[in-house]
Amino acid sequence: MTTKLLVVLLGALLCSGAQGQTYPAKPLRIIVPFAPGGSTDIFARLVGERLQGPLGQNVLIENRAGASGNIGAEAVAKAPPDGYTVLMATTGVMAINNALFKSMSYDAAKDFEPVIFIASITNVLSVPVELPAQSVTELVALARKDPGKLTFASSGAGSSTHLSAELFKSMAGIDVVHIPFKGSGQALIDVVAGRVSMIFDNMPSALPHIKGGKLRALGVTGLKRSPALPDVPTIAEAGVPGYDSLSWSGFALPAGTPRDIVQRLNRETAAILAGAEMKQKLGEQGADAIGGAPEVFAEHVRREREKWGRLVRERNIVVN
């Protein structure tokens, strides 16, 4: 080995070590690929605020809504892999959109480095209080009586709120028309007003409307009841056996981000998620704090990509 090559290699090692020791040296941005007010935004702010202390830097939340999360995701995919631009990664962005959209500017399987699984969230099937359906069974009967008359809102094509409804339609054998919005906040306004028949929204954003008497909850989408709504049955026990659909979120970085940076962000976030305060905060929103190593999140994303990709193909769901 020449002296020149040895100097170069030693320099690279020293720079790598220094990078791990000094990161972060400036504020971080967490890109939320949806509008404010939904569960993705709520969780990003809860975790981001608590990361500022251990990281010693400000953590800024930036909402980049549009194209079912693709605009925000693309911004992170194309950002420098230096750990300063973080994606609030969701079911749609990481596991659905590449199967759903004909044209994509990023590949979720190749362009992101999974960091940590933050939360798993049940969605909740809710209807306007004026809709004459008091249960899942009655809603299915109403949809079968007038195929194509009822509508469902979502936070965007490809979101978990969209695919939860598509799974419900498939398993219940009904025809309900999709009305996509640019976020849960906007979708909920029209459902509460009765302009849309139903929504399979994330529990955190739907809960205030349910508890405030503006929406009627008919069922939760997971296989177990939610402590946030203990009297609301699962959709599986309320008339659609085997139904199971959970939303989730986590942190991801641009592919190629140094391993020590991934591990630092994972370690600090995992400590926050393990704390009693964060577990309580997420629990109040109807969510479970998860945590775990980057590999745990990566494997979860892989399984979810297979599940939802299969549904998209079987139902021939395509968004231009």
Comparing 34-43, 81-90, 115-124, the range with the smallest average pLDDT is: 34-43
Amino acid identity for residue 292 in this structure? G
Asked whether residue 255 is assigned to any structural domain, the reply reads: yes
Q: Is 152 a domain residue?
A: yes
| Phi then psi dihedrals of residue 199, to 5 deg | -150, 140
The answer to the question of residue 82 being in a domain is yes
Prior bond of 24 cis (ω within 30°): yes
CA neighbours closer than 13 Å in the CB half-sphere of residue 131:
32
List of long-range contacts for 137-146, beta carbons under 8 Å, 24+ apart: 137/238, 137/239, 139/198, 139/218, 140/172, 140/174, 140/239, 140/240, 143/172, 143/174, 143/175, 143/176, 144/173, 144/174
- 265 domain residue, yes or no: yes
The CA R_g of the chain, rounded to the nearest whole Å, is 21
Number of H helices, E strands in the chain: 12, 10
Q: What is the pTM of this model?
A: 0.81
d(CA 146, CA 142): 7
Q: Which residue has the tokens 């529990």?
A: 203
Contact between 268 and 54 under an 8 Å Cβ cutoff? The reply is: yes
Q: In terms of domains, do 115 and 131 share one?
A: no
Instruction: Report the C-alpha gap between 291 and 297 in whole angstroms.
Output: 8
Domain that holds residue 134: 122-220
Could you tell me if 132 and 153 lie in one domain? Answer: yes
CA distance linking residue 188 with residue 209, whole number of Å: 8
- Domain boundary (205, 220, 235) is at 220
Count of domains for the chain: 2
Same domain, 178 and 205: yes
Whether residue 309 lies inside any domain: the answer is yes
pLDDT of 320 reads 61
With 70 as the cut, is the pLDDT of residue 1 above it?
A: no
Q: Are 112 and 252 in contact (CB under 8 A)?
A: yes
* pLDDT computed for residue 12 by the predictor: 45
Q: Is there a domain that residue 285 lies in?
A: yes
| pLDDT per position as a tens digit, 49-79 | 999 999 999 999 999 998 889 999 999 999 9
- In tens, the pLDDT along 7-47 reads 434 444 444 444 445 899 999 999 999 888 888 899 999 99
Q: Are residues 163 and 106 in the same domain?
A: no
116 and 147 assigned to the same domain: no
Strand pairing report for 112-128 and 246-254: antiparallel
Q: Are residues 262 and 281 in the same domain?
A: yes
My answer on whether 57 and 127 are in the same domain is no
For residue 156, give the CATH number of its domain: 3.40.190.10
41 in any annotated domain: yes
CATH number of 43's domain: 3.40.190.150
- Regarding whether 169 and 157 lie in a shared domain, the answer is yes
